[in-house]
Structure 1
Amino acid sequence: NMDEFAFGSSTESSAFGPTHNPWDLDRVPGGSSGGSAAAVAAGLTCVALGSDTGGSIRQPASFCGIVGVKPTYGMVSRYGVVAFGSSLDQVGPFARSVEDAAAVMDAICGHDELDCTSQQVKADFRAACKQDVAGMRVGIVKEFMEADGLTEEVRERTLEAAAKLEAAGAELVEVELPHVDAAISAYYVLGPCEAFSNLARFDSVRYGLCDEGHKDLGGQYESSRAKGFGPEAKRRIMLGSYLLSSGVYEKYYYPAQQVRTLITQDYTSAYQKCDVILAPASPRTAFKFGEISDPATMYLSDVFTISLNIAGNGGMSMPCGLGRETGLPIGVQLMSPQFKDENMFRVAMALEKEYGTAPVAPEFSDGKAGE
């Protein structure tokens, strides 16, 4: 299960009803790929796939206490995936161990002639898991650690993970991403514009719901799209339509692309000082159903993940224990330079040696999980 067309951060906007977090059934599993994350956390399967446009793998992985990988843009084929933001989308695995995630990545990465964005990639993720972190440079982003909305328990776990990596032989360095505060603003221009374009194909003829019985094609289009899209999908389609309209396009879309360039350059500069960046995956632990009703507030759930999709780099969420106040899973985010995703698997394996592999959620750990 997932948020409709991947439009969401909680799986509450699914046309099939919400998915519940296996750690607390009154809370969301994150989104948009919340169903995949919940299935792995509950022990229903050892691995699953999700898609990540602005954090839709890493945020639910954090909420559900499992490993979630968003590869570098172009590393994995997207053929067969319904497009949301074509310049942002990437497919990746969920798993309860780093090695399982590495095995999936070894299987799915590489060039696919059916996806023109996929690249010729040579990588061995399982081999990377056997290397230690001695001598690696781990970047800490000041802008992330001082961000508004970051809860103290998430900050504590992130700094604790950094300390464990330093103890394992890694060097901690401070890096800057000066334009990262503009990432959400740029994303919610670029994303809806691309979504508006992609979802135009759902015309009730080739794709999508067909509301039959109309005398003319225009009436069928209008009625089918009105009934076939949920509220969040309609919101983003209308926003994208407005942003791409005459007189508005130049005011918002062009500046958003310029911000994208600046953010990409920021990451390039940061990686000259480090091999991997360590940051929170989400500003907080899983929230309760209905707790966040304002769309703008919901969008802030991805404040630490969106900039990575804009830049196209690789990222993953790695479980690092439970929150001191909530007792719920917390994930730290590891980010690597483009097509150097093996770096973050090395660091993730070092953290897994400290925290252990992700357990099955307590309510489902009856000894039969995964059978």
Structure 2
Amino acid sequence: MGANIFITEETIDGADDGPLAGKTVAVKDNLSTDGLRTTCGSAMLDEYVPPYDATVVEHLKDAGATIVGKTNMDEFGMGGTTETSAFGPTKNPVDEERVPGGSSGGSAAAVAAGKADLALGTDTGGSVRNPAAFCGVVGIKPTYGLVSRYGLIAYANSLEQVGPIGSTVEETAALLDVIAGADEHDATTRFDQTMDAHPAENSDYAAAADGDVDGMTVGVITDLLDGADDRVVETFEAAVSDLESQGAAVVEVSLDSLEHAVQAYYVIAMSEASSNLARYDGVRYGLSTGKEGNWNDVYADTREEGFGAEVKRRILLGTYALSAGYHDKYYKKAQDARAWIKQDFDEALAEADVLATPTMPVLPPKLGESLSDPLQLYLMDANTVPVNLANLPAISVPAGEADGLPVGLQLIGPKFGEETMIRAASAVEN
């Protein structure tokens, strides 16, 4: 079985020339590819073949990239280890006894194993940054609205962004240059009326990777160091003092709202997931059990057979949170917490140019270790989910190793502040 990085290995050639000519790119299996099976890591979509390309896939082809396959992922993006995939877990190329992170584990593993120069993942609560950290590569979660979501099979619409993964900050930023931009098919990419154009039009993300942090202020979020593995904190702190030696000023910041982030995130994400996954009914596309009977029975049978345990758990919790009598108690409260988190980040980013945390509070767990305790798995997202709730950009860059395993440093920028964040990340890499 090997590392089980791809669900479908197939080569799609791009244009003859372009900024990605000669580069191979692996694409996460929740991004639609015209004529090529797209499963979302689920038995529900085992044989689904989309009739069109996602906008980001079109951009890859136009830029001359060669697509080398669709990568394994947690089912519908629900998981942080790529172990909930209906096609079996992916192994971490750094240590095959460990998880590669998730949900874009196949994409990060493809880059780490040299199976692709670059990869696309999607990030709802850390799903690009988590596997980038665990596999020792670079992953960017762009500001919400920077990259088109058209053709992405959604998990949670208000949180999710397509993001690039690469070996270096500059290469990853160059892929962001290719995929970012306005899209008439996606209203979330409509630029803010205070700007003259979509932010990507006036940006050169790859050029920002110049490593110049002289005079930059880096805010370390102290709340997210508590409870993290000591080896991770040590590696993180060494990388931050390295930034300081390159001329950055380091300040400590605290965001009181973060203690509610994981709870708010899971209520919102699961609520949106339960709504999004209602369309898998055994009638229109995807799995159909072929059983006959009344519609409710057919619907239930299809979902029983098509969805895995983690997806069912999240649908149930999301449906409960949205149900009459509980909507105000859970969903509305979570949205209030989200507004508070956003406000806290804005205040912190008024004091610092970028904010820094360890990407993951732990080292990559062993395969099978975290599956028995979903709550532990959810808490692993503590450092990444606040960024999605605030719709901000973040990058995970390798900060060093602890016990031979990669540790990622996360830098968070202001809204559409990708260039500043990329500049700081390239200094970490240097």
TM-score by length of 1: 0.92
CA deviation after TM superposition for structure 1 residue 197, in Å: 0.6
User: 2: CA distance between counterparts of 1:70 and 1:197?
Assistant: 24
Q: Distance in 2 between matches of 1:227 and 1:273?
A: 51
Q: After the TM superposition, which of the residue ranges 70-79 and 122-131 deviates more from structure 2?
A: 122-131
Paired residue for 2:374? 295
User: Are 1:73 and 2:144 counterparts?
Assistant: yes
1:213 is displaced (CA, Å) by 2.9
C-alpha displacement of 1:131: 5.7
What CA distance in whole angstroms lies between the structure 2 residues aligned with 1:18 and 1:183? 28
| 2:210–2:427 contact (8 Å) kept in structure 1 | no
CA distance in structure 2 between the partners assigned to 1:184 and 1:131 by the alignment = 32
**Is 2:214 the partner of 1:134?**
yes
Distance 1:32 1:42 in 2: 17
Q: Counterpart of 2:384?
A: 305
**Distance in structure 2 (CA, Å) of the matches to 1:206 and 1:350:** 50
Does structure 1 residue 319 correspond to structure 2 residue 398?
A: yes
**What residue is the counterpart of 1:365 in the other structure?**
none
Q: Is the 8 A contact 2:211 2:425 kept in 1?
A: no
Alignment of 1:219 with 2:313, yes or no, is no
1:194 corresponds to: 272
The one-letter amino acid of 2:139's match is: G
Residues 14-61 of structure 1: per-residue CA shift (max 9 Å, x gap): 010000000111110000010001110001011000000001110110
In the aligned structure 1, how far is the partner of 2:319 from the partner of 2:380? 24
Give 3-state SS (helix, strand or coil) of 1:92's partner.
strand
- Please state if 1:250 is matched with 2:321: no
Q: For residue 133 of structure 1, report the CA deviation from its aligned partner.
A: 0.8
Q: How far 1:215 moved relative to its partner?
A: 3.0
1:351 equivalenced with 2:428 (yes/no): yes
Structure 2: gaps spanning 5 or more residues: 1-71, 192-197
C-alpha separation in 2, matches of 1:305 and 1:46: 25
Structure 2 counterpart of 1:107, from 160, 178, 184:
178
Instruction: Give the secondary-structure state (helix, strand or coil) at the position aligned to 1:179.
Output: helix
SS of aligned partner of 1:351: helix
Confirm or deny that 1:11 pairs with 2:82. Answer: yes
Q: Which amino acid aligns with 2:179?
A: I
Shift of 1:351: 1.3
Superposed structure 1 runs of 4+ greater than 3 Å apart: none
1:82-97 correspondence to structure 2 within 5 Å: 82-97=153-168
Shift of 1:121: 1.9
RMSD (Å), alpha carbons: 1.0
Deviation at 1:191, TM superposition (A): 0.6
Given that 2:155 and 2:272 are in contact with CA atoms closer than 8 Å, whether structure 1 keeps it comes out as yes
1:85-111 CA deviation, whole Å, 9 max, x = no partner? 110000101100111101101001111
Give the whole-Å Cα distance in 2 for the aligned partners of 1:223 and 1:335: 43
Calculate percent identity across the aligned residue pairs: 50
1:188-220 deviation line (CA, Å, top 9, x unaligned): 110100000111111112233111131332222
Distance in 1 (alpha carbons) for counterparts of 2:159 and 2:313: 19
Residue 30 of structure 1 aligns to a residue in which SS? coil
Distance 2:374 2:165 in 1: 26
Q: Give the secondary structure class of the aligned counterpart of 1:126.
A: coil
Q: Given residue 301 of structure 1, which amino acid in structure 2 is its aligned partner?
A: M
Contact 2:220/2:250 (8 A) holds in 1: yes
Q: 2:397 & 2:215 partners in 1: Cα distance?
A: 21
> Which amino acid counterpart does residue 48 of structure 1 have in structure 2?
A
Amino acid at match of 2:157: S
Q: What's the CA shift for 1:73?
A: 0.7
In the other structure, the counterpart of 1:117 is 188
Q: 2:101: which partner in 1? A: 30
Q: TM-score, normalised by structure 2?
A: 0.80
Q: Aligned AA for 1:36?
A: S
Unpaired runs of 5+ residues, structure 1, are: 354-371
Describe the shift of the 1:203–1:288 C-alpha distance in structure 2 as closer, same or farther (beyond 3 A): same
By relative contact order (CA 8 Å, sep 6+), the higher-ranking structure is 1
Which deviates more, 201-210 or 169-178? 201-210
- CA shift, 1:314, in A, is 0.3
